[in-house]
């Protein structure tokens, strides 16, 4: 079996031919631009598909399905891309138009990119074999992918699973979505940068301030300085972990997954974020004395998760 998976982002689209074992056989990337019209964008994705097939010496007849993951609001069932903030796609009947542009009669499936990522991990990655998984991608925002009872949970018209926009603190910090106090405003990589910047301004003589001034602002610096015992950095990391922990525990209390996965830039900290988050969940999840332990782990698929997860839409 051969499936094409296409991981669409605001700056690039990565396509791969994936087999039934989740292995990428061939890969190709093209640049995407926000100004591109929906018609041109669909044509670009068709060209990407044909170029990928040419690389592999295959034709569409050799392909069993195509899956695409988008960073935005998607109606999976109807094949409609409702909205992508970093692409010029608004209420586009993507599946219908894309299949027509390819003259492809086999299945074409689409979904949100976080849904694709959790599918990839559950089928082939760090959560392989698990039927209850919640994944958090900690980047510019917070994406959430949820599998419960072996099924991807997306809500009515696939508009749900936007965990980054659950409220952590009522009336709290402004979120990019327009509301205040969202989980994303406190526990995304962007939030970590803001918290680090605020700490540096309050503590200009700290090692954290010294490192930021020398190396620039990044999510890595507070963890590095905390490892060296800097009090300011330790406070930043502790507070950030608590915000993250509170949001994750809320999801654990609703879905009680076997495993919680972390993806995105912050997950690169590995045990430095996994261990404190594991402790936080162990201490705060409801029924902790009686229920099975929830494991915390870093997602394993890395930059290939989007391609493999998009392909996995056709393997459900």
Q: What is the DSSP string of 156-196?
A: GGG----GGGSBSSTT-SB-TTS-BSBTHHHHSHHHHHHHH
**Domain covering 128-299 assigned CATH 3.40.50.2000 in the classification:** no
The pLDDT of residue 188 is above 80? yes
**pLDDT for residue 7:** 94
Contact 174, 185 (CB under 8 A): yes
The 10s digit of each residue's pLDDT in 19-40 is 999 999 999 999 998 889 999 9
CATH topology assigned to domain 2-119+304-315: Nucleotidyltransferase; domain 5 (3.30.420)
How many Cβ atoms are within 10 Å of 187's Cβ, its own excluded?
A: 27
**pLDDT for residue 313:** 96
**pLDDT for residue 85:** 74
The 10s digit of each residue's pLDDT in 102-125 is 999 999 999 999 999 999 999 999
Q: What is the percentage of the chain residues whose pLDDT exceeds 70?
A: 100
**pLDDT for residue 303:** 84
Domain 128-299 in the same topology as domain 2-119+304-315: yes
Rounded-to-integer distance, Cα 18 and Cα 311, Å? 7
Instruction: Tell me, yes or no, if the pTM score tops 0.75.
Output: yes
Domain residues of the chain, as ranges? Answer: 2-119+304-315, 128-299
**pLDDT for residue 9:** 87
């Amino acid at each position: 079996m051969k499936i094409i998976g296409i991981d669409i982002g605001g700056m690039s689209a990565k396509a791969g031919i994936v087999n039934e074992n989740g292995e990428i056989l061939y890969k190709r990337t093209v640049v995407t631009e926000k100004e591109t019209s929906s018609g041109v964008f669909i044509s670009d994705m068709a060209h990407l598909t044909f170029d990928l097939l040419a690389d592999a010496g295959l034709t569409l007849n050799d392909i069993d399905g195509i899956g695409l993951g988008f960073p935005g609001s998607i109606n999976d069932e109807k094949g409609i891309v409702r909205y992508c903030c970093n692409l010029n796609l608004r209420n586009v009947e993507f599946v219908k138009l894309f299949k027509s542009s390819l003259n492809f009669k086999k299945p074409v499936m689409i979904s949100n990119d976080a849904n694709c990522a959790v599918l990839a991990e559950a089928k082939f990655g760090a959560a392989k074999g698990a039927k209850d998984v919640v994944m958090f991608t900690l980047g510019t925002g917070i994406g959430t992918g949820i599998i419960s009872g072996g099924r991807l949970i997306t809500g009515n018209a696939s508009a749900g699973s936007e965990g980054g926009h659950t409220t952590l603190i009522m009336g709290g910090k402004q979120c990019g979505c327009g509301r205040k106090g969202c989980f994303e405003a406190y526990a995304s990589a962007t939030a970590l940068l803001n918290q680090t910047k605020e700490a540096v301004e309050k503590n200009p003589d700290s090692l954290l301030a010294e490192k930021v001034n020398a190396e620039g602002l990044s999510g890595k610096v507070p963890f590095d300085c905390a490892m060296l015992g800097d009090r300011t950095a330790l406070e930043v990391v502790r507070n950030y972990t608590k915000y993250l922990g509170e949001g994750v525990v809320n999801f654990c209390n609703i879905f009680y997954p076997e495993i919680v996965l972390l993806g995105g830039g912050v997950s690169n900290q590995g045990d430095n974020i996994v261990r404190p988050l594991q402790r936080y969940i162990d201490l705060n999840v409801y029924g902790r004395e009686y229920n099975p332990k929830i494991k915390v782990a870093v997602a394993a698929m890395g930059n290939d998760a989007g391609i493999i997860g998009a392909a996995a839409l056709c393997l459900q």
